[in-house]
Amino acid sequence: MILITGASSGLGAALAKCYLEDNQQVIISGRNKARLDAVTQGQGTHICAIDADLTSDISVSALFDQVGLLQAQSRLHTIIHCAGSGYFGAIENQNPAAISALLQNNIMSAIMLVREAVKRYRDQAVNVVVVMSTAAQVAKAGESTYCAAKWAVRGFIESVRLELKGSPMKIIAVYPGGMDTDFWATSGKTIDTSCFMSADEAANMLKQALVSSQHGYVADITINRA
Ligand SMILES: NC(=O)c1ccc[n+]([C@@H]2O[C@H](COP(=O)([O-])OP(=O)(O)OC[C@H]3O[C@@H](n4cnc5c(N)ncnc54)[C@H](OP(=O)(O)O)[C@@H]3O)[C@@H](O)[C@H]2O)c1
């Protein structure tokens, strides 16, 4: 069983469809129940949706309680954390409330999700895949607060990785480049994304890259835009 966050649209929704094609049991999550239901519509019985705001520890705990109930059917082996949002512009023009929402949706969501996953599954073979951005690898003018958020997530997961040394739970870091998803409209940035990767393309590449063997696993994945 796979839990995919941020799956009411974009990369997460595309990943859900990829894994359903493999007959995997998929749980998708996001805040917006109607958009989650639109993703599950017509996809059969191997997918279910649980709405949760990942910035709230109570909501994250409730999500994992529901995942736990579904474990009777199939074992949770992978969590893919895609939830996040964008906000851009010259720093002097950025709005404090929007900056706060950006930090919550990216940093707090990742911390709350990984914290709860480690609490519950650190002694089990569960792969926790955290989607960040190439903005966590390089500085970008006009993206200062977004870079700050993604760099924070990178520092967080690389530190938790050290805490998990010797544990069967693994953290996998993913750094995608530009994708043609709802992300841009909700970020408020008007940009031509027609030459960006589609969510389906990025999802297929990510799924193919997520491989492991008895004594090894792919730990860091960068998906560059061509
Ligand atoms: N698109 C790009 O060019 C690009 C490039 C590099 C990295 N990324 C990163 O890739 C990830 C996926 O982005 P995407 O392009 O697929 O964007 P998207 O279509 O906007 O999807 C983002 C998802 O995150 C969910 N979400 C946001 N805040 C949340 C919260 N507080 N709690 C729970 N769910 C939340 C949204 O669902 P609800 O609104 O239903 O909650 C939505 O399902 C993000 O982390 C993004 O930063 C995107």
Residue 214 has a pLDDT of: 87
> 120 in ligand 1 pocket by Cβ < 6 Å?
no
Residue by residue, pLDDT tens for the chain (226 residues) are 999 999 999 999 999 999 999 999 999 999 999 999 999 999 999 999 999 999 999 999 999 999 999 988 899 999 999 999 999 999 999 999 999 999 999 999 999 999 999 999 999 999 999 999 999 999 999 999 999 999 999 999 999 999 999 999 999 999 999 999 999 999 989 999 999 999 999 999 999 999 999 899 999 999 999 9
> 78 in ligand 1 pocket by Cβ < 6 Å?
no
Closest atom of ligand 1 to 199 CA is 16
In angstroms, what is the span from residue 165 Cα to ligand 1's centroid? 29
Place of tokens 């705990």: 61
Residue 188 has a pLDDT of: 87
Residue nearest to atom 16 of ligand 1 (CA): 10
Distances from the Cα of 164 to the Cαs of 50, 81, 123, in angstroms? 27, 18, 9
23-30 long-range contacts (CB < 8 A, ≥24 apart) are 25/1, 25/70, 25/73, 25/74, 26/1, 26/2, 27/1, 27/2, 27/3, 27/67, 27/70, 28/4, 29/3, 29/4, 29/5, 29/54, 29/63, 29/83, 30/5, 30/6, 30/83
Contact 125, 166 (CB under 8 A): no
Contact 167, 114 (CB under 8 A): no
Residue 72 has a pLDDT of: 85
Of the residues 63, 179, 222, which should be mutated to test ligand 1's pocket, given the most ligand atoms within 8 Å of the CB?
179
77 SS3 class: coil
> 133 in ligand 1 pocket by Cβ < 6 Å?
yes
What domains are there in the chain, each with its CATH number?
2-223 (3.40.50.720)
Strands 220-223 and 170-176: parallel
Residue 162 has a pLDDT of: 98
Residue 194 has a pLDDT of: 95
Residue 73 has a pLDDT of: 84
Contact 106, 149 (CB under 8 A): yes
